[in-house]
Every structure is written in C-alpha cells, then in structure tokens.
A and B are shown apart, each in its own frame.
Chain A
C-alpha cells in the first residue's frame, strides 16, 4: 500500500518534471491537434447528412431521417447511371496511374542515383521537380496549347511534316493516355525525393562488397538498391491503394471536355456537378462516405497482405 502510493507520487513528480522540461514541444503539438480536431474530426458530425434529408441552415441533428431507414440516398446514388460510370472511371484512371505513375519515380530515382556528375544530377533533379509546383489549371492550359487539334504545337508540327492532326484531347482513348502521362510529368520528379532519401540510407559498404565480388551496375541495382528501397515502396504502395477511390478534383476537371466525358466523369466531378452545383447535398455526401469506407477497406487489405509478405506495413 505504502510503496504503491510512494510509487504513484514519484511518477507524478516525474511527470511534472517531464512536462516542465518538454512543455514547449507539447505546446507546439497543440497546433496540429487543433487543426485535425476542427477540420477532420468536427466534420464527422456532418457525415449524418448522408442519412438525412438535407435542409439548408439547419443543424444536421435536427434534419429528418431519409427514407428507407436513412439509406435512401445511397440507393439513389447507386441507381444513378452517372455515378456508376464515375465509379468505373475513377477506378480505371487510378489503376492506370498506379500502373504507370507508381513505378516511374522509382526508376527515375535509380537513374539519378547512378549519375556520377553531381552538377548534372542537381540540374536534372531541379528541372524534374518544377512541374509539381504548377496547378492543374495551368497545366490544362499548357495541354491545350500543345495538343489542341488545329492550334496545338504538336499538331502543327505533324501537319508540317505532312501528317494529319491527331485528336489528342478530343478522343476518349487518347485523352486517357494524355491524362496519365501528364500526371507522370507533373509528379515524377517530386516523388523521387523520398526514394532518393531512402537510397542515401543504404549502407555504402554493401556496394563496395558487391564490387569486390565483381558485381556490375545492374547487379548492384537489383541486389542492393531495390531491396534497400523495398520498405519505402511498400508503404507508399499501401497508401496509394488506400486512395483507390479518392481522386483529385482539379486534374480531371480542368483537363476534361465534352467530347471525353464518357471517361473523364469521375467521383469528384460527379460530386461537384450534382452536389455543389445541383445541391443534391445528401446524395453526394453519401457518395463521399462510400468512397471513404471503400478506401479504408482497401488500405486495410493492402496492409494485411504486406504484413503477410513479411513487410512492416503502416501500423
């Protein structure tokens, strides 16, 4: 009894001392905690809008429940043809992005790592980062200048060489290619940063040992660099799988046009058209909730599989 209280006392004093010493760090932590609380946790209360009939200017607690035990708007969404197309397109575009856009920075990082001339490497890196800082609105403007059927740079060049104009932006198939490639162009440089950092962390003795054993450049990449990158790759892969249904708004919205709506209509633009413009707030909240739930499921499955394969996972 006595020892117990003594222990509690001393640990209490320890905590006091601890806080006295580190309170500044905790105070700094407060700011992000407040941010998450206000912008990520309070909005939770509003998820119920998906199950209720939205009334403007009314507290979500007071809104009446939707029909069919609150599930009406989910049913409405799944009955909506455009929603089903948007779902399909989102999965398709994200899948292609994963297929093409995910390996791209890994490859670029390895190539950059092999460059011996430091100045050249730096310049290349900096140029590759630049597009990351352009907004999609600007990129879409550039894309029009470059790919438009009559006034686009590429088509003017094609015409000058005697070929006819190619519908880069106004044919659904071509548009998907442009969409994916512009995505790679915009993000590949920036995404190499994390891989380059991971490569720096690989013990150089391994390379030296491999050299002694007579390993060539490709052997070293295959047996040392790539295994060294594996944990980073796995974590990033899990995170991107966890965003399989989440899709940026600006990119498809600014690049789209009426001739490619069959592939450019995705969940984010669907929510914009029907929610923010059409005021079908409950239905689009239901769509948002559905997206998030599916994302969580994807994330957990990917994490589970990664762990089964002996990786660390993200939790």
Chain B
C-alpha cells in the first residue's frame, strides 16, 4: 500500500510539471458564460446607441454620456511600450502621460492607467497578460497574426459594429485613419474587425549607411552600384591599417545581425524580378522579410561570398534581438558600412551612433546614407510597407469599448498628437523662422522615451504637422547634431524606387495560425547558416534550409494563399483597379 501511494505521489509530481511547463495558470479563469455576457453587453450598448446623438460638443447618450463626457468616471488601461532606455523616465508615469491623463479626464471623464510592456518581448508579454485575463483595455502590437490567433480563441472584442455606430462621435479617429486604415483588417466575408491599423505617416524603412570619413580618407566616391559597393568593402578591408591604425584587426567592412532579412534588405530586394506580380508578392508574402520571393537566394549568395571574403562581421549570428554589441562596434568606429532603419545612426539624440562616433573617433567621423543597389533593369527598387503601422485591438475583457474608442479619438486629435510629437516649446523643440520645428533633446521630466513619443501616439508613426511641406522640412531637423541635408538625403534614399504594399485581404488563412514565430525563427536560421556556409556548400545549405522551411508549414501557407487569391480574384495577377 505504502509503495503504491509513494509511487502515485512521485508520478503526480512529475505529471504536474506538464501543466506548469505549458504556461497554464492555476488562477481562476473566467467562465465562458462571463466572457460571453461581456460580448453581449457590448452588443446591447450598440443597441442603446440608437438613442445617441452627436452635437458639436460630442456624443450624448441619455443617462450615460453627455457632450462626450461620461456622467460617471470610466476607467481604462492602456498598453505602452517600455524600451528601457538609458536615462529615460518611467513610460507609464511622466510629463507626457500626465498630459494625456489630464486631458482625457477633462474632455471625456475617463481615467487612464498606462501598463508598460517590454518592447522587445511584447508578444510573449501580451500572451501572458491575455491568458491571465489581465491585458490592458487598449492593446497594440506590430504582429497582426497574434491578434488573429487571440481572436480565434475568443480573446478579442469585435469592433465591427461599434466603430461604425459611433462614427460621428469619433471624428478625429475617422478623419485621420480613414476607411483605408480602419477597415484594413476587416474580414471580407463576415465583416469582423479585430484590429484597426495605426497610420504610417512617413513611409520610410531602410537605408544603407557608410562612413563618409573613410571614403574621404581613401579618396573614394560613394558607390553607385552593387559592384562598386563590393569594391568599397574590399578597400575598407585592405586599408584597415590606414583606417584603424593599431586596431586594424577590429575592422568590420560590413556588419549585419542575425536578422539578415532586415539588415540586408536593399541588397536582397535588388535581386528580385522587377516585374514580379501583385499575386506573386501576395502568395509568397507571408514572411515579412520576403524570404520566399524569387531572386532572394542570389542575394544571399552574394552575402555568402562577402562573408567568406572577410567583408562581413564574423560574429553576427551569435547575438540575439536587442543585443547592443553591434551598435557598440559601430559607435567605437570599427564598422565601415551597414544597413538598418532609415535613420538608425541618428536616433537617440546624444547617444546616437553618429554623436558617439564624433566623441570617440573624431569630429569628421559619421555615417551617411547611400543608395547603390539596382535591380536587373538598373533601377533602385525597394519594398515599402503599406500606410499601416501598429495594430490596435481591445481584448475581450474590455468592458469600456466606447470609452476606449473615445480615448483613441482623443489621442488622434491633431492638437493632442502634435503636442505629444513635438513637446514643449524651447524644451523639446524650437521653431525656426520659416516655421520648421527643430527637435531638442530634453532631459529630466520632459524626456521623450521614444522618438516623437511614438509610444503614446498609437495611431500615428512618423511626424505630421498638418502641412506636408512643413513636415518634411521639420523632419530634417528632428535629429540633434545631424545636418538637415543628411536627413533629407536619408529620406530620399530610403524611398527612391519604392513599391508600396497594398492591402490584400482575402479572409482567413488558417494555415498561418500560430506559425509566425516558428517560421520567422526558421527563416533566420536558414539565412544565417547559408551566409556562413563555405561557398561550395552554399547551394546545398540554402536548399536544405528552404526545404525545411517549406515542409514546416511554409508550403501549406503558400498553397492556401494561392487558393484564396484565386477564389477572390480568379486568374488576375494584379488587383482590380479601384
């Protein structure tokens, strides 16, 4: 008896680890009936909104809200990214959150609490919060497939009715985002709407950067083709003594990270067939780094050649997302060229890569953007995203849908978002004679934890001052310590020859559910291994990796995308003219 009992105990303890290991929680979980009533409640709310009226002062619903102000104070929680930047303030409690809290309370009688979520592990953190029924009322993420997965589990509020019914009460939100962004993710069959898309105001993405001072030292012109770029890298490598002196062995002509799809984007894009059809781009478009596009393999092969010619940083694959080792190498002045976000070396004000270079290496040191890569037609070609940015959604636990929508409307209102973007005059910015706004790095209370306070202005990414010309002139001033022309060039280089992404919404693609992280990881593995392979093994490594990617779900996704495209658009290879 004793034996059986002790065996049972030992066995149960081991079994218990199964449940623990898979992130289930012993905490009380809401009964389904509860969450369902939550949904019908929002349903009745929309019914009730038939009595609603909107005047110049805002929405009025008898007994609930008058002129946009709730009669009883509503409480909502809002997600905010925590970037953990050096010397930053608390992202949930600082000068700008106070501005928002006071304003929303004043205008709508809504009390706002911010919930910080670490920027680089946002998806993991959101998963945990949602599973614990503890997610903020207003959530945002860059990853729509995550929202979709939550929605399929009944974890997201369907905005289809509310966003339409309260349209008149949300003039700023509708005015700024328009049907295009609000209905971007609408299901073409059911009309379900799980998220609305923030707007990308400046469609810039990636740039190639090079050390201008090194080019000058070597008496070279900025490269204007892939071949010239390679020659430049070779020159950096061969002249390491001249460029780095004692530290010649630290020379890194071209640096990339494990995320090759992003960090070599312009090179890879230049190998893609310029005539690629919209259908082809859609069918092969699950991967956001366009791993499956035809031609990418040749681009990777070039990187493989460079790696084996000692032109690429040898240790790139060992450091993960968010690691600062590579940035530090750039700041220390060992890196000749790299490719990254369009304004990467100018970001973070005083702590930017360029400003560090100036301090550590010399006044002349610094990166400038170039645009050397051309496609088979000899033209620059880049794939730019559609005008969408972060995806905003309300978890099913959100009982204050109207209040949350009014919050979004408030944050989108021009005066409010303009203040958040440029901050306080003479502290966060100064105004030039021609009206252009120049950014000043603030410290202490008024510090912005993210450029242009992007983390608070969730419906906009990129500067918008209401006037396009003024905006463009001001963008050039938004990087302290960097000449306006340098930024203007970077802007041009990043967008030249851009193919803007279109909204192709053919409904649910079930084979994509939950596959995002696993396939992205696999893509990185394939690209990393292919780049570091011996040249004679390249083909075999790349093909084996691609086979693995396709067999692990990539092929199923392509097939389903092709099928859904055909069901929607038939044989057409382009979207019908609108």
Please list the residues of chain A having a beta carbon within 8 angstroms of any beta carbon in chain B: 36, 38-44, 46-47, 49-50, 54-60, 62, 80-82, 144, 148-151, 165, 169-170, 242, 246, 257-259, 261, 268, 271, 273-281, 284-285, 287-289, 291-293, 295-296, 299-300, 314-315
Contact = CB atoms under 8 A, between A and B. Distances in A.
A140 B382 CA distance: 37
Contacts of A315: 3, 6-7, 10
Given A57-B30, A57-B35, A315-B7, A43 B155 contact: no
B518 interface: yes
B18 A291 contact: yes
B433 interface: no
A274 B15 contact: no
A268 B21 contact: yes
Nearest to A259: B317
Interface stretch (B99-107, B411-419, B521-529): B521-529
B131 A56 contact: yes
Nearest to B519: A278
A84 B16 CA distance: 23
B131 to A, nearest CB: 6
A288 B510 CA distance: 24
Contact of B12 (A41, A277, A279): A41
Given A148-B318, A279-B150, A271 B514 contact: no
B484 interface: no
Contact of A41 (B11, B16, B18): B16
Nearest to B527: A258
A56 B153 contact: yes
B18 A285 contact: yes
B446 to A, nearest CB: 34
Given A274-B514, A279-B150, A285-B18, A42 B26 contact: yes
Given A57-B155, A150-B315, A82 B552 contact: yes
Nearest to A283: B514
B31 interface: yes
A276 B317 contact: no
Contacts of B552: 80-82
Given A55-B154, A56-B150, A288-B21, A296 B15 contact: yes
Contact of A292 (B17, B153, B528): B17
Contacts of A287: 22
B548 interface: yes
Contacts of B443: none
Nearest to A249: B21
A242 B14 contact: yes
Interface stretch (B72-80, B122-130, B216-224): B122-130
Contacts of A41: 12, 16
Q: Which of A43, A56, A261, A300 counts the most chain B CB atoms within 10 A? A: A56
Contact of B19 (A47, A276, A295, A300): A47
Given A56-B130, A288-B17, A280 B514 contact: yes
B314 interface: yes
Contact of A281 (B23, B35, B133, B396): B23
Given A170-B532, A259-B528, A288 B19 contact: yes
Contacts of B71: none
B61 interface: no
B150 A291 contact: no
B119 to A, nearest CB: 15
Nearest to B553: A80
A44 B16 contact: yes
Q: Which of B3, B30, B317 counts the most chain A CB atoms within 10 A? A: B317
Contact of B528 (A59, A242, A258): A258
A273 B26 contact: no
Contacts of A293: 15, 18
A278 B22 contact: no
A201 B170 CA distance: 79
A44 B150 contact: no
Contacts of B319: 144, 257
Interface string B13-49: 1111111111111100111100100000000000000
B518 A46 contact: no
A33 to B, nearest CB: 12
Interface string B523-545: 01100110010000000000000
Nearest to B20: A43
15 contacts: A38-B26, A39-B20, A43-B20, A54-B153, A55-B153, A56-B396, A149-B314, A170-B317, A268-B21, A271-B21, A279-B146, A288-B17, A289-B18, A292-B14, A296-B11
7 A-B pairs with the lowest CB-CB distances in the bound complex, closest first: A43-B19, A56-B155, A40-B16, A258-B528, A277-B517, A46-B24, A292-B18
B130 A275 contact: no
Contacts of A285: 18-19, 22, 24
A43 B16 contact: yes
A49 to B, nearest CB: 6
A272 B7 CA distance: 30
Nearest to B26: A42
A313 to B, nearest CB: 10
Given A47-B18, A276-B128, A292-B15, 19 more contacts: A43-B19, A55-B155, A56-B150, A57-B131, A57-B396, A58-B32, A58-B35, A59-B32, A60-B24, A60-B29, A259-B529, A261-B525, A276-B23, A277-B124, A279-B149, A279-B150, A285-B18, A291-B17, A315-B6
Contacts of A299: 10-11, 14
B515 to A, nearest CB: 7
A315 B7 CA distance: 7
B142 interface: no
B258 interface: yes
A84 B552 CA distance: 12
Contacts of B32: 55, 58-59, 62
Contacts of A82: 518, 552
Contacts of A49: 22, 24
A148 B314 CA distance: 9
A75 to B, nearest CB: 15
Contact of B517 (A43, A60, A150, A274): A274
Nearest to B532: A259
A264 to B, nearest CB: 10
A277 to B, nearest CB: 4
Contacts of A62: 31-32
Contacts of A242: 14
A1 to B, nearest CB: 28
Contacts of B146: 279
A32 to B, nearest CB: 12
B462 interface: no
Contact of A258 (B127, B130, B153, B258): B258
A258 B317 contact: yes
B551 interface: yes
A199 B500 CA distance: 73
A43 to B, nearest CB: 3
A42 B528 CA distance: 43
A40 B29 CA distance: 17
B42 to A, nearest CB: 15
Contact of A58 (B19, B29, B150): B29
Interface in B120-169: 123-124, 127-128, 130-131, 133, 146, 149-150, 153-155
